[in-house]
Amino acid sequence: MGYFPFFVELEGKRGVIVGGGTVAARKVEKLLAFGPKLTVIAPDIEACVRTQGELLQKDAAGSLRFEERAFRMEDLDDADFVIAATDDTVLNGEIANHCRESCIPVNVADDREKCTFFFPALVREGPLTVGISTDGKSPLAASWVRREIAGMLPESIGEIIDLLGQIRPAVMALEAEESDRKKWFERLFIYCMERLDRGQEITEKELTKLVEAWRHKENE
């Protein structure tokens, strides 16, 4: 199997989580920040799932609904992605087969062979998202790599990336050639990181003036 790490737009997408235990709670925790519309279906939804969901919904972009009842296969109609997280391996397999036949991406807890997508170990700092996967072979190794990467990232890297994103349209408007734009983006990034190392604040206005000054100097 060859799993390519696509980054997929989840905002507004309908996700169905079948199962109401700790595995479901972990999936809810990872997904809600990315804005999907999640539905958790299980005859018994544990308190940890409800508590986790209620806490996360206060700050998350996504929505979460609970349906405490038996799962029906028609619950998957119109689903954009599905997570089978029950303690019934037969039911999980039936859900996986249905999803494959219906071309719905599916993740089956603790059953790599039945998955058509995996959950990466995530590092998030503002707009920066790093996903680490071992093709489901060693989640422990993925977690170790995640911790190593998280420890390497400088504080405020997310804020720097936000600033660079804000000034990006101005640079794009100034330079028609892609090679010239790349040069400015590289210089801005290095400048920001140097300021960050010195503990100095940076503003969008400052970066805009800096680009104009650099460009004026080059045109002299």
Residues 35, 85, single domain; the answer is yes
Residue at which a domain ends, from 64, 93, 119: 119
On whether residue 179 sits in a domain, the answer given is yes
Residues 71, 139, single domain; the answer is no
pLDDT in tens, 141-165: 999 999 999 999 988 899 999 999 9
pLDDT of residue 11: 93
On whether residue 126 sits in a domain, the answer given is yes
pLDDT in tens, 49-83: 777 667 666 656 678 899 999 999 999 999 999 99
pLDDT at 4 exceeding the cut of 70: yes
What percent of the chain has a predicted confidence (pLDDT) above 90? 47
pLDDT of residue 104: 98
Residues 22, 104, single domain; the answer is yes
Number of domains in the chain: 3
On whether residue 149 sits in a domain, the answer given is yes
Q: Which position has the token pair 């390497």?
A: 152
What's 135's domain CATH number? 3.30.160
Whole-angstrom distance, CA of residue 127 vs CA of residue 73: 36
Residues of the domain holding 131: 120-153
pLDDT in tens, 9-49: 999 999 999 999 999 998 998 898 899 999 999 999 887 77
pLDDT-derived band at 182, boundaries 50, 70, 90: confident
On whether residue 146 sits in a domain, the answer given is yes
The per-residue pLDDT of the chain, averaged, comes to 88
On whether residue 2 sits in a domain, the answer given is no
Whole-angstrom distance, CA of residue 92 vs CA of residue 87: 8
DSSP E strand boundaries for the chain: 14-18, 37-42, 63-68, 81-84, 106-108, 121-125, 128-132
What's 77's domain CATH number? 3.40.50.720
Whole-angstrom distance, CA of residue 31 vs CA of residue 56: 10
pLDDT of residue 1: 57
Residues 164, 149, single domain; the answer is no
pLDDT in tens, 96-138: 999 999 999 999 998 889 999 998 899 999 899 999 988 878 8
Residues 179, 83, single domain; the answer is no
Residues 203, 186, single domain; the answer is yes
The contacts of residue 73 (CB under 8 Å, 6+ apart) are 94, 95, 98
Q: What is the pTM of this model?
A: 0.81
* Residues 131-158 as b or e (16 or more Cβ within 10 Å = b): bbbbebeebeebeebbeeeeeeeeebbe
Residues 61, 79, single domain; the answer is yes
Residues 23, 101, single domain; the answer is yes
On whether residue 3 sits in a domain, the answer given is no
Residues 142, 207, single domain; the answer is no
